[in-house]
Amino acid sequence: MTPSPVLRAEGLSMAFGAFKVLDRVSLDVFGGEIVGILGPNGAGKTTFMNLLTGAYRPTTGRVHVLGEDVTHLATADRCRRGIARTHQVPRPFGGMTVFENVLVAARNGRGDPSGDPVGLAWQVLEHTGLAGVANRKAGSLGLLDRKRLELSRALATGPRVVLLDEIGGGLTDAEADRLVALIRDIQRDGVTIVWIEHIMRLLTECCTRMICMAGGAVIADGLPGDVIDAPAVRTAYFGAAA
Amino acid sequence: MTDLTITRSSTTSRITLGLLVAAGLALAALPWINGVGGSGRAVALLVYVLLAVMWNALAGFAGLVSIGQTLFFGVAAYATIRLSDAGIDPFLATILATLIGALLGYVTSLFMVSLSGGEFAIGMWVLSALAHLCVNLDPLIQGETGTSLIALNAYDVETRAALTLWLALAFTAVFMAALILLLRSSTGAAITAIRDDEIAARSVGVDVLRTKRIVFVLAATGTAAAGALWLTSNTSFQPKAFFGVHWTAYMLFMVLVGGLGRIEGALIGAVLFFVIETLFGAYGAWYLVGLGAVAVLFALVLPNGLWGWIGPRLPGEAIPTGYFVHKKEGRTQHVDG
Ligand SMILES: Nc1ncnc2c1ncn2[C@@H]1O[C@H](COP(=O)(O)OP(=O)(O)O)[C@@H](O)[C@H]1O
Ligand SMILES: [Mg+2]
């Protein structure tokens, strides 16, 4: 018998006005997976993530977390059920310090409110490498640290699943290696990961499974090597270059 | 295990607290120094402070831009008249009217706070206009003719002025303290997060609606206190003078010129407004034109208001709501090597 998924999307569709962005996308993500999502710009990846977290209401379809239907729940409630995310364009609380940013997440985002949020927030910062700038205003951070802050806040909510939206862009090789190591750490701590990324190398190094989206649908799903080699993926993703 | 220390105050904040307490004491002594006239102006200053600080909490922190806070200002003044007419001591009536404002704020919050920005702003104005109409229907008020808080005549002029001033000071201190404590509480960081980015706040689990409602009710109550005080200080109640849109303009002016989203900004915005009014208020229409010009000037030169310029130049937060975290690294010196 197959284990039940940590996160389940069931026939999710989304339209902005008459413009259909997602067409009945279904996906089961199982505990311990690192699922990479690739796809050309405009494929609907971020929109898919917004439907999973409740930032948008789907036109049709349902979302389940740990077997519970959360489709009717608001983003904050889903966060407390265990779905955390990073934003493709970082959204720091600019007037607050890095530490305060993470503290807000530790206090509000945890399903289980026991534990000391101050200590937890600090632990997360040490883990993600931001402890050194804990007292800096988040608005003064560079892009790289803003992305790390996104990840730190997500982790501070004590998630079961983390949805990452292009947090690897613009990294040097060394930074990218550190990020991959960090993501693996997080997974080892029992957190399931869904990672939208353009940088193929990061996904192939890290992922246990890969998905390709194009034109609002999943066009391939399988082991990273197989997905990259699939003809449909090559035409959709690499386009004329393939 | 971890040696974390959290610091939540600084020399700057201790000096600020000292200055605020000194200013409060100086105002409290005014009845002996300056008599009735001085007390009246001091109440005006405190009413402006209350209005600015509360409007700033609402717009600057909760992102709820209301152009109808006169709902609470006017209804509290009206309630004071009504309670006093029913035989309650006017000063007690002022306090009770503030509580009625809190109740009205709570009820209003149930359906207003979830509205989107534009709907909320206009909706508040509509509610205020409705309340204005209803108050005008009360025969006691005689339409726009208005009435007076005649029960105040039971007190002689000096006592009345001094009591009003002390009540105003007490209200201002209570509401300032309540707001600062709220912003320093665990809910406070969530409020500040909403100020900075509402969508991100939702993403990390902040219950945005609940948090906004807390701020809304506090702002409603503080604004109600200001309305009741304004009545007690000026004795006459003409609905237009309380529900009038000029109050909204004043609140906007004080907060935008002082600096949106900072308590300190609202405070100095109110003081600046008071000074301008004291110096130029007699010029009627030209005074209003001048106010508008000052607002435009600030928008161009200091878009973050006075405090947006002063705040970052201070060594610490004047009114501290944040956390400074520090980890003692006592062991590292002799462990490595
Ligand atoms: N809020 C929105 N309103 C209208 N169109 C949107 C909105 N968000 C996304 N879109 C459109 O949906 C499509 C998919 O966008 P997105 O999910 O961001 O793609 P991806 O993340 O795969 O690059 C794009 O064509 C984009 O313009
Ligand atoms: Mg995207």
Q: How confident is the model at residue B335 (pLDDT cuts 50, 70, 90)?
A: very low
Chain B residue numbers touching A165 (CB-CB < 8 A): none
Closest C-alpha residue for ligand 1 atom 26:
A42
Looking at the predicted structure, is the pLDDT value of residue B333 above 80? no
Determine the average pLDDT of the residues in A133-154.
95
Residue A42's contacts (CB-CB under 8 Å, 6 or more residues apart) are none
What span, in angstroms and rounded, lies between the C-alpha atoms of A24 and A215? 12
Average pLDDT for chain B:
93
Most confident by average pLDDT, A159-168, B288-297, B320-329? A159-168
Q: B97 and B226 in contact (C-beta within 8 Å)? A: no
What are the tens digits of pLDDT across the range A35-82? 999 999 999 999 999 999 999 999 999 999 999 999 999 999 999 999
* Number of Cα atoms under 13 Å in the Cβ half of residue B287: 14
pLDDT of residue B332: 44
| Other residues' Cβ atoms within 10 Å of the Cβ of residue B159 | 12
Chain A residue numbers touching B321 (CB-CB < 8 A): none
Looking at the predicted structure, is the pLDDT value of residue A8 above 60? yes
Determine the average pLDDT of the residues in B252-269.
95
Helix (H, G, I), strand (E, B) or coil at A110: coil
Q: So what CATH class is A1-82+161-171+196-242? A: alpha beta
Looking at the predicted structure, is the pLDDT value of residue B42 above 70? yes
Q: How confident is the model at residue A239 (pLDDT cuts 50, 70, 90)?
A: low
Q: Which chain B residue shows the shortest CA-CA distance from A56?
A: B199
Whether ipTM tops 0.90, in short, is: yes
Q: Give percent above pLDDT 90 in chain B.
A: 83
What span, in angstroms and rounded, lies between the C-alpha atoms of B13 and B19? 10
What are the tens digits of pLDDT across the range A151-205? 999 999 999 999 999 998 888 888 888 889 999 999 999 999 999 998 888 899 8
Q: How confident is the model at residue A128 (pLDDT cuts 50, 70, 90)?
A: very high
pLDDT of residue B310: 95
Contact B189 A100 (CB under 8 A): yes
Contact B205 A80 (CB under 8 A): yes
Determine the average pLDDT of the residues in B180-184.
97
pLDDT of residue B2: 61
What span, in angstroms and rounded, lies between the C-alpha atoms of A154 and B177? 33
Lowest mean pLDDT among A124-128, B84-88, B146-150, B222-226: B146-150
| DSSP H or E segment with residue A181 | helix A173-188
Chain B residue numbers touching A103 (CB-CB < 8 A): 189, 323
Q: Does A93 touch chain B (CB under 8 A)?
A: yes
Q: A229 and A222 in contact (C-beta within 8 Å)? A: no
Domains of chain B: 4-335 (1.10.3470)
Determine the average pLDDT of the residues in B26-40.
88
Phi-psi sector, A67: left (phi>0), alpha (psi -120 to 50), beta: left
pLDDT of residue A23: 94
Burial class of residue B264 in the structure, from the number of CB atoms within 10 Å of its CB (0-12 exposed, 13-18 middle, 19+ buried): buried
pLDDT of residue B336: 36
- A236 or A229: which leads in pLDDT: A229
Looking at the predicted structure, is the pLDDT value of residue B136 above 80? yes
**Bridge partners for A34 per DSSP:** A193
Q: How confident is the model at residue A84 (pLDDT cuts 50, 70, 90)?
A: very high
Closest CB to A157 among B189, B196, B204: B204
Pairing between β-strand A60-65 and β-strand A7-16 as defined by DSSP bridges:
antiparallel
Determine the average pLDDT of the residues in B109-116.
95
Give the residues surrounding ligand 1 with Cβ less than 6 Å away: A 16, 21, 39, 41-47
What span, in angstroms and rounded, lies between the C-alpha atoms of B215 and B112? 13
Closest CB to B196 among A96, A118, A134: A96
Looking at the predicted structure, is the pLDDT value of residue B216 above 70? yes
